[in-house]
C-alpha cells in the first residue's frame, strides 16, 4: 500500500468512485475477468482505491492532479533537484494518462 496523506487518499477515492472507468474496472475485477487486455494491471485495494501496476490510478481531474503535485512539492520524501526528478518520483507512485 502506498502511503498518502489521509485527505489526499480520500480525495482520490471520491473522484475515482464517480468515474465510469472505475466502475468498469470494478465490475471486471468482481467477475474475475482480468484477462481482458485493456483491464490487465488494475487492482483494488481493501478500501477500494484503484491501482494500475502498483501505482495509484488518478482519474482525469485537473484539480486532483494539481493537489497531488502541490502535496509532492511540500513533502520531504519528494525533495528534488529539478522537475524531471520530481516527475519520476511521482510516476513511481501515481498513474495518470496525459
Mean pLDDT, contiguous 10-residue spans, the chain (98 residues): 66 92 91 83 92 93 88 62 69 81
3-state DSSP percent of the chain in helix, strand and coil, to 5: 55, 10, 35
What pLDDT is recorded for position 79? Answer: 53
Instruction: Report pLDDT for 59.
Output: 92
Of 87, 85, 51, 42, which is closest to residue 68 (Cα–Cα)?
A: 87
pLDDT of residue 1: 45
pTM of the predicted protein model: 0.76
Amino acid at each position: 500500500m502506498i502511503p498518502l496523506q489521509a485527505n489526499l487518499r480520500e480525495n482520490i477515492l471520491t473522484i475515482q468512485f464517480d468515474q465510469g472507468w472505475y466502475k468498469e474496472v470494478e465490475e471486471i475485477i468482481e467477475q474475475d475477468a482480468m484477462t481482458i487486455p485493456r483491464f490487465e494491471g488494475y487492482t483494488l485495494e481493501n478500501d477500494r482505491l484503484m491501482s494500475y501496476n502498483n501505482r495509484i490510478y488518478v482519474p482525469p481531474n485537473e484539480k486532483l492532479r494539481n493537489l497531488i503535485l502541490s502535496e509532492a512539492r511540500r513533502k520531504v520524501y519528494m525533495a528534488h533537484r529539478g522537475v524531471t526528478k520530481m516527475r519520476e518520483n511521482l510516476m513511481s507512485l501515481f498513474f495518470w494518462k496525459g
